[in-house]
Amino acid sequence: MIADNIRGVKERIAKICAKAGRDPAQITIVAISKNRSADEVEEAIGAGITDVGENKLQEARLKADSRNLRAVRWHMVGHLQSNKVKDALNLFDLIHSVDSEELAQEIDKQAAKINKVQDILIQVNTSGEESKFGLRPAALNETFLVIKALKNVRIVGLMTIAPLVDDPEKVRLYFRRLKELRDKVINLRLTTYDLRLSMGMSDDFEVAIEEGADIVRIGRAIYD
């Protein structure tokens, strides 16, 4: 079942990549595994998943420890509180949800203690919905520079969470906005890193890929 779902998702990605002139090998699928059991995560990994995402630190740690699932890459996609940073660094390869200088500074401080350079994405609130975390687009460039100066943090891309809507076409503009923000950062030479875009979920990953997503975060389409 999970294996069939993964095959289906990969086929859909291959199809949309062919249409968009993109290479499917360059798209990372993160299997969002919140509220799923360690058994299910193990099944997904057995079916070829290499990247697992969670939105709660505690839940991720229980799963990773219970099954020795550490061989895959772990992604933190939920809001991260400062007091949980220290533990998060021990588990996550990529933190998608850095949305303030303060949080980045805490990550830098804790990462320095364990000699880690933590890869992060900066989360941007492209829709402006009040319920969403993320930087205001207008604040991105300035915050980017402040965070970039931190030695134990490496910004490898940007992330956004689109609003929930019935029609994926309605969120295309938010994905496009994130790509435009990324292109601006690159054009202003704020970094030489080839920044990646984390955007798109079960209902809208095809639109996100058309708009330039490099990392798609997929839960229901894999596990349901």
Ligand X SMILES: *Cc1c(COP(=O)(O)O)cnc(C)c1O
Q: Among 77, 147, 155, 209, which residue interacts with ligand X (rule: CB under 6 A)?
A: 77
Beta-ladder partners of 155? 120
Which of 134, 157, 168, 219 forms a contact with ligand X (CB under 6 A)?
219
> Minimum CB separation from ligand X for residue 149, in Å?
27
Q: Is 55 an interacting residue with respect to ligand X (CB under 6 A)?
A: yes
- For position 100 contacting ligand X by CB under 6 A, the verdict is no
Amino acid, res. 17: C
Binder to ligand X among 69, 98, 135, 201 (CB under 6 A)?
A: 201
Q: Taking the complex as a whole, how short is the minimal distance between the CB of residue 53 and ligand X, in angstroms?
A: 7
* 217 near ligand X, judged by CB under 6 A: yes
**b/e 125-134 (16+ beta carbons within 10 angstroms → b):** bbbeeeebbb
Q: Which residue has the tokens 């880690």?
A: 116
What does the alpha-carbon distance between residue 200 and residue 213 come to, in Å, rounded to a whole number?
Answer: 7
Candidate segments 8-16, 82-90, 103-111, 214-222, binder of ligand X by CB under 6 A: 214-222
Residue whose C-beta lies closest to ligand X: 219
d(CA 90, CA 152): 14
Binding of ligand X at residue 218 (CB under 6 A)?
A: yes
User: How many chain residues are in contact with ligand X, going by CB under 6 A?
Assistant: 14
Among the listed residues 10, 12, 22, 34, the single contact to ligand X using CB under 6 A? 34
Residues from 3 through 32 that contact ligand X (CB under 6 A): 32
Contact 151, 193 (CB under 8 A): no
- Dist. CA 224–CA 218, nearest whole Å: 11
Contact in structure between 182 and 158 (CB atoms under 8 Å):
yes
Distance CA(85)–CA(30), nearest Å, equals 21
Least distance CB 201 / ligand X (angstroms):
4
Give CA separation, 83 vs 19, 102, 103, 108, 186, in Å: 44, 12, 10, 13, 32
Question: Which tokens hold the place of 156?
Answer: 């490898």
Q: Which stretch, 44-52, 86-94, 126-134, 213-221, contacts ligand X (CB under 6 A)?
A: 213-221
Q: Does 168 bind ligand X (CB under 6 A)?
A: no
Would you call 96 helix, strand, or coil by DSSP?
Answer: strand
2 forms part of the interface with ligand X (CB under 6 A): no
Nearer to ligand X, 79 or 148 (CB): 79
- Footprint of ligand X on this chain (CB under 6 A)? 32, 34, 55, 77-78, 161, 201-203, 217-221
